[in-house]
Structure 1
Amino acid sequence: MAVHFHLLFLTVSILSQIPFPSSSSSFPVDTLTKGSSLSVDNEDDILVSPNGLFTAGFYQVGENAYGFAVWFSEKATFRSRTVVWMANRDAPVNGKHSMMSVLEDGNLVLRDAGHEVIWSTQTKSTFSSVQLRLHSTGNLVLHGGGKSLWQSFDYPTDTLLPNQLFTKKAQLVSSRSSTNYSSGFYKLFFDNDSILRLLYESTETTTVFWPDPGLTTWEAGRFQYIDSRRAMLDSDGHFNSSDGLSVRSADFGMRRQRILKIDIDGNLRIYSLVEHQRRMRWEVQWQAISKPCQLHGICGPNSLCGYSPDLGSACVCLHGYKRVNSEDWSYGCEPEFQPCTQDDCDFMELRLVEFYGYDVRLLTNTTLDACKKECLHDNSCRGFQPGWKDNSYHCFIKTSLHNGYQMGVDYFMYIKLPKSLVSSFNQKTIVHSSFSCPQPVLTPIIRTYKTHHDNKSLEIMFMFGCMIGFMEIICVVIVWYCSSKHSTISEQVYFPAATEFRKFTYKELKKASRNFSEEIGRGGASMVYKGRLADNRIAAIKKLTNTNHQGEAEFQAEISTIGRLNHMNLIETWGYCAEGKHRLVVYEYMESGSLAENLDVGKLDWATRFNIAKGIAKGLAYLHEECLEWVLHCDVKPHNILLDANYNPKLADFGLSRLLDRSGINQWNFSMMRGTRGYMAPEWVSNLPITSKVDVFSYGVVILEMITGRSPSSKT
């Protein structure tokens, strides 16, 4: 006992001699006064806006790395905080002894552990009332003498908040990845012609890709040489720019929190914070570019971007090339061959492919053989893109292969390679690639810090005491954890995906549905039950009845595609179960039932019907043309259109018909008809190719039923 008391006394004595930085606040406030500081050591050293919506303070961006940032106080769907501004995104500070201070001279300064100034506002004021205040708008403002000395709204990072003015002096710069907040490759800015543009800028190349560079300014709906270069997103969801750009979010006018953000893939999007089943999440309401492969730099040089039914957009190296970085597609691919001479080179033909830009010269009124000969004689030529214009053949000679993507039009590309590689090449499409589009790359930012103490012996004794105490704590935690784990082993296994998708056990779903007692719907090969999950969410649990040919690996691969779909007009899938012969899918419960049920009782007015029609059109457009292009629903009908409490529509059962029996399916060569009689397109019975038009036909039948009130299967 005496030994422990002596050790405790020694530790307290040593701690009392070590200077720790002081903080002006021990609880959240909205103002930091002159001469006060916020410390990274104290989690309570934060500023909170008067409405509680925003928080400012030190935000962890890597291992022992912090940035001073402003973020939304509330988390969205269990993800990390939504950061809207950061002072030192490219120079993070240490996790110990770093401070943000309002100095006596009126300057706001961020210092690292070694007292090095990392960032400052470079302001001066002789007023005694200098204050740093976080406003309810999310604007961090340094006030002095009744006026603003500096504000974060003038220096955005990658996000614009409602009513935040974007000017010619400002720019939005994307983050490097979802886990690395340092500056990325994409920028939104006003150019010298007063046009608001998106720019891709890496260490090797720079290119503007929005508005479409293939269009003139007038064709893109923009106006040049405007004196005022200003843009702003208002609280209703209207983004307006002085160059003539004017867009509205899909939920325009609704009372929601919104942001405009340039994402890590370079696309500019408007997000709205939407509540789903008592959870808040950010949903895309508008985006500048609808096809991700048209974003420059998304796959890096010497690669090709295309669309896959399973993966959505995907990247693959050109034949003869290999990836530079296995975790980051922005580095692209590099050749696996040595440069060939004129006699040893030949050309690999790629169909339906375009590589945008990097044309060294244009040959007009020529032939294909002449283009090949020109490229063979030029050592810098990597390939050429032929074309036909004004009744003459021409070709663009390219010195670099950037921004390659597959198209749905009759384009050709010729890549110069050694003859041995050309002979081994077979025309492939991107859908066979196992590589997906750029994923979040975790790039820890590691910074060390040093502290100096005059008395080295005290420091050693202090560390020795701390180590003993730390080891005791670890032992206690290990004993507690092992005993706790032994007694409460959970059967829950989470699906290894970047969503909230999870794998349920059959026992869990049986309990949640009270032994499948409350049936709320059924189809030809499934029954749907209402249930309450362990976290009190109300769910719809679909139990598939025809699963004779459905293996677990195949089922998981198919359901994972559905789990990645994310759109406000598509039903949200929460998870699945694959145990033995049991195959179940869990998705959100819709309070107002199906469109078919509501049409039968005549409950919908015309305005509601119009909103339902518009919402389902948006959901189908997402499936056919956006993130997961070429996904077909195959069974669009009122029974598969579900309505929430506010009668907002969501398309259900997309792709689930493929879960029943895939033994005869080979991409789009279906071995059997799919759909419901009366809603099926003529292609199913006339042996024509199955495309997205089959869904469009079914959608048209649904619209007619909503207008006339008559079902195509009725006899009257």
Structure 2
Amino acid sequence: MGAPFCILVLFLLPSSPFSSSEVPHSLTQGSSLSVERQNHDVLLSPNGLFSAGFHSVGDNSYCFAIWFTEPLYNGNHTVVWMANRDEPVNGKLSTLSLLRNANLVNLVLTDAGQLTIWSANTGSIGSASVVQLQLQNNGNLVLITSGGVTLWQSFHSPTDTLLPNQPLTRDTVLISSRSQTNHSSGFYNLHFDNDNILRLVFHGPDISSVYWPSPGVPSLQTGRYMYNTSRSAILDESGRFMSSDDFNFTATDFGVGPQRRMAIDEDGNLRLYSLDEKRRRWVVSWQAMAQPCLIHGVCGLNGLCTYVPQENSGRRCSCIPGYKVKNDTDWSYGCEQEFDLSGNMDEYGFVELPNVEFYGYDNVFLTNYTLKSCEELCLKDPGCRGFQYKDQNLCYVKSQLRNGRRISSNLLFSMYIKLPKRELSTYDKPAQQFTFNCSGQLGVQLYRPYEKSHENGILKFMLWFATATGGVEIMLILLVWCFLSRTQKKSHETVQGYNYVDCGFKRFTYAELKKASRNFGEEIGRGGGGVVYKGTLSDNRVVAIKRLDEANQGEAEFLAEVSTIGRLNHMNLIEMWGYCAEGKHRLLVYEYMEHGSLAENLNADTLDWEKRFDIALGTAKGLAYLHEECLEWVLHCDVKPHNILLDSNYQPKVSDFGLSKLLNRSGENNPSFSRIRGTRGYMAPEWVSNLPITSKVDVYSYGVVVLEIVAGKWATTGVDTIGGDEGEVEQTRLIKWVRERMNNGVAVTSSIGEIIAPTINGNYDTRKMEIMVGVALQCVEEDKNGRPTMSQVVEMLLHHQNDN
């Protein structure tokens, strides 16, 4: 009886147009893809980069989607398009079918074999034409005829992602997901507005507002050109984005190579990502908003956003005084008031929130108004919820409190919240703060159960009984295990130290790192506030262990700094694997770089001109990321060959990035640092001239390093004397000497030949070496305003690289 039964089962299984051993690139007319065979009924692009099929988005909920075939480090696939993101289908009997009726062709997504959820209507075609659904190498899903006519394509109806060479037009919109786990349409979109400007817009449940480019700045001042009706933009494979409104940018890792995608994320920010193949992670190579609190709607009505780089989202939400959170897992709901505003004006007063701003919704804007007059105006207005008072004479009366943010500023302005007088004393303390939940699910996942028409009652009871019995046994085992392990937990954590901070790297004990480094016996580098030792962990990984000189931070402050640095993620930055914060000991654990530092290799024959150019370019990319792409901008403050490490392929990785943040946090808005930082010979004039310190100090140091890369060991003579004047003298001589050689009017070949390191032996690309020297000389201009930014340096080097 067994054999006939198996044959019967095979006949009853849903049919598939493919065999399990062959993954197709196309779907022919009259065929279907089944949700019940989502692991087999998958379309694959010819190059294998993209896959299309049914993708699980919840409990028994599926969307037809396109994703990158290779999973990330955590096993997840990156989805780039969905057909039915707002109406998932059932996990039973749902299909995607390519149907043809006479000359009409239609691509139909059916839920549970009954309801049509989505379709791509294509109109009438010739009777002789054969139609196929194909997944192309660029990730575009196309419905195409045998004559090469495209009837429909996914590139014309994007969801939240733009792929290279996918056009963004007047008819297309990128819409964010609701959250990282809820793929339905969210509140943020990117599109061309009626003024022909590419904009980011918040479309909330009850209001809409533009937040990028800054709505308070005229378009021309933001570099946008509205007098062009083409409304088109495109991202190319090199990481260059070009828009008809003159908004253009290039990725920090500009150049053909890594896989890229641009996405409007669930937090409302527009980002360009590059795939780090080695670590299988997406790395941000550009983003629209460096300050996440400027994105509208992030904390909802009556919510206040505070910039907190230690949080995964870079921000934290709280309710203003007198208000309570509606839903602490979804801040889009904002906060609701805990009082009544229907009394007489003499029953109300105000709570001052210094350095807090709420954007928009001004009932009245008045100049030359005193604080007292502004208060009286708000008290008389029943619709006033508070007022903004700026610069001692500007009064903004608010009808709604939206887009609130806390600003670190020396400007004189405050927000005054209107509250009953009897409540004012309650709000002397700061308002309660809640972490913005950027990773949690917003809303409820859709559940689409498929109930079978016949069930065996006895079998169901037996299954239930076995499950219940097994559950009881498991609970008993867990209780015993918890009891035994609970008494050992504290001592185990103290001895092993396997604790993790937000970004997921390991917390080591001091004893572990002392053992791994053989009592800190093999020094491989020093500088930047500490000594670096080579070590081998218990899992045989070779690491670099940096022992910080200054250990005067509290543990909480140190962990906050480590969390910030740990989230820096770029292929040209050294990767941190762990840390130690124990007593006065503060140590950082980094990946080990096989070829040591650039300083050790400057005079090596292994560094030919191509490697030197790549080192200069990679270093520029890493610094550009630190300056412009991080949630919290980081100044390196000690760029030199000793802090540029080389991996097994001689690719550069900047180390000691963020050291100034670790020891004493200071940002771009600070006029000065508490002490001079860096190494003589590489320090910008601002350090000794008492001028404001900006990212241009790193640009200057980078320029000196590039001159050393070109000139080789000669340029480092005397520079290693840290703290003395020889390095500064050599630096000045080097810059002056190179400038004289480049401006002496002789042939370029002769000039470069005098500058090039002898180890290159005359084998080099004259044009590229000349470009390197020219860029370096721009970077070492005395006036910081004459120096380019690091992203401009990257663009200049890549431009000339591609020209060749």
Q: Is the 8 A contact 2:637 2:697 kept in 1?
A: no
The counterpart of 1:621, out of the listed 613, 627, 632, is: 627
Q: Is the 8 A contact 2:684 2:700 kept in 1?
A: no
Shift of 1:175: 0.7
Per-residue displacement from partner, 1:407-440 (whole Å, max 9, x unpaired)?
3352523323323444455596xxx986444421
What is residue 279 of structure 1 aligned with on the other side? 279
Shift of 1:251: 2.2
Structure 1 or 2: larger helix share?
A: 2
The counterpart of 2:68, out of the listed 49, 67, 72, is: 72
C-alpha spacing 1:160/1:415, structure 2 compared with 1 (3 Å)? same
Q: Is the 8 A contact 1:642 1:651 kept in 2?
A: yes
C-alpha spacing 1:206/1:385, structure 2 compared with 1 (3 Å)? same
Aligned partner of 2:438: which letter? Answer: Q
Structure 2: how far apart are the matches of 1:695 and 1:193?
Answer: 35
What is residue 40 of structure 2 aligned with on the other side? 44
State whether structure 2 residue 185 is matched by structure 1 residue 190. Answer: no
Shift of 1:693: 2.5
Structure 2: how far apart are the matches of 1:336 and 1:685?
Answer: 55
Q: Is the 8 A contact 1:134 1:141 kept in 2?
A: yes
Q: Structure 2: which 5+ runs fail to align?
A: 479-483, 485-491, 709-714, 730-804
Structure 1 SS opposite 2:202: strand
Structure 1 SS opposite 2:159: coil
Aligned partner of 1:33: which letter? Answer: T
Structure 1: how far apart are the matches of 2:660 and 2:212?
Answer: 38
Aligned partner of 2:397: which letter? Answer: I
The alignment's TM-score, normalised by the length of structure 2, stands at 0.73
Structure 2: how far apart are the matches of 1:155 and 1:585?
Answer: 47
Q: Is the 8 A contact 1:635 1:674 kept in 2?
A: no
Per-residue displacement from partner, 1:643-695 (whole Å, max 9, x unpaired)?
44566544433456887999xxxxx9x99968566478999999x9xx99287
Structure 1 SS opposite 2:364: strand
Shift of 1:233: 0.9
How do residues 676-695 of structure 1 correspond to structure 2 at under 5 angstroms?
Answer: 678=680, 693=693
Higher RCO (CA-CA < 8 Å; seq separation 6+)? 1
What is residue 401 of structure 1 aligned with on the other side? 401
Structure 1: how far apart are the matches of 2:378 and 2:437?
Answer: 32
State whether structure 2 residue 329 is matched by structure 1 residue 336. Answer: no
C-alpha spacing 1:167/1:654, structure 2 compared with 1 (3 Å)? closer
Aligned partner of 1:37: which letter? Answer: S
Q: Is the 8 A contact 1:634 1:675 kept in 2?
A: yes
The counterpart of 1:356, out of the listed 356, 359, 377, is: 359
What is residue 17 of structure 2 aligned with on the other side? 24
Q: Is the 8 A contact 2:319 2:433 kept in 1?
A: no
Aligned partner of 1:23: which letter? Answer: S
Structure 2: how far apart are the matches of 1:571 and 1:421?
Answer: 52
Structure 2: how far apart are the matches of 1:29 and 1:506?
Answer: 55
Q: Which moved more, 1:140-149 or 1:129-138?
A: 140-149
What is residue 521 of structure 1 aligned with on the other side? 525
State whether structure 2 residue 217 is matched by structure 1 residue 222. Answer: no
C-alpha spacing 1:400/1:10, structure 2 compared with 1 (3 Å)? farther
Q: Is the 8 A contact 2:578 2:588 kept in 1?
A: yes
What is residue 376 of structure 2 aligned with on the other side? 373
Structure 1: how far apart are the matches of 2:499 and 2:25?
Answer: 40
Structure 1: how far apart are the matches of 2:122 and 2:97?
Answer: 13
**Identity of counterpart residues, as a percentage?**
47
Structure 2: how far apart are the matches of 1:405 and 1:335?
Answer: 18
Q: Is the 8 A contact 1:565 1:628 kept in 2?
A: no
Aligned partner of 1:574: which letter? Answer: W
Q: Is the 8 A contact 2:523 2:531 kept in 1?
A: no
Structure 2: how far apart are the matches of 1:221 and 1:128?
Answer: 48
Q: Structure 1: which 5+ runs fail to align?
A: 1-5, 663-667
Structure 2 SS opposite 1:228: coil
Q: Is the 8 A contact 1:349 1:412 kept in 2?
A: no
Q: Calculate the aligned-residue CA RMSD, in Å.
A: 4.6
Structure 2: how far apart are the matches of 1:380 and 1:71?
Answer: 49
What is residue 732 of structure 2 aligned with on the other side? none
Shift of 1:266: 1.3
Structure 2: how far apart are the matches of 1:553 and 1:369?
Answer: 42
How do residues 94-493 of structure 1 correspond to structure 2 at under 5 angstroms?
Answer: 94-105=90-101, 106-113=105-112, 115-124=114-123, 129-146=130-147, 147-275=149-277, 278-308=278-308, 310-311=310-311, 312-339=314-341, 341-387=344-390, 393-407=393-407, 408=409, 410=411, 412-418=413-419, 419-423=421-425, 425=427, 435-443=434-442, 445-453=445-453, 456=454, 459-460=456-457
Structure 2: how far apart are the matches of 1:472 and 1:346?
Answer: 63
Shift of 1:231: 1.4
Structure 1 SS opposite 2:377: helix
Per-residue displacement from partner, 1:55-110 (whole Å, max 9, x unpaired)?
00111111221111000011233252111000111111122332212223322111
Structure 2: how far apart are the matches of 1:545 and 1:216?
Answer: 48
Structure 1: how far apart are the matches of 2:518 and 2:41?
Answer: 47
Q: Is the 8 A contact 2:241 2:248 kept in 1?
A: yes
Aligned partner of 1:143: which letter? Answer: I
Shift of 1:539: 4.7
Shift of 1:208: 0.8
Q: Is the 8 A contact 2:99 2:107 kept in 1?
A: yes
Q: Is the 8 A contact 2:92 2:450 kept in 1?
A: no
Q: Is the 8 A contact 2:390 2:414 kept in 1?
A: no
Structure 1: how far apart are the matches of 2:154 and 2:310?
Answer: 42
Structure 1: how far apart are the matches of 2:552 and 2:142?
Answer: 63
Structure 1: how far apart are the matches of 2:353 and 2:664?
Answer: 34
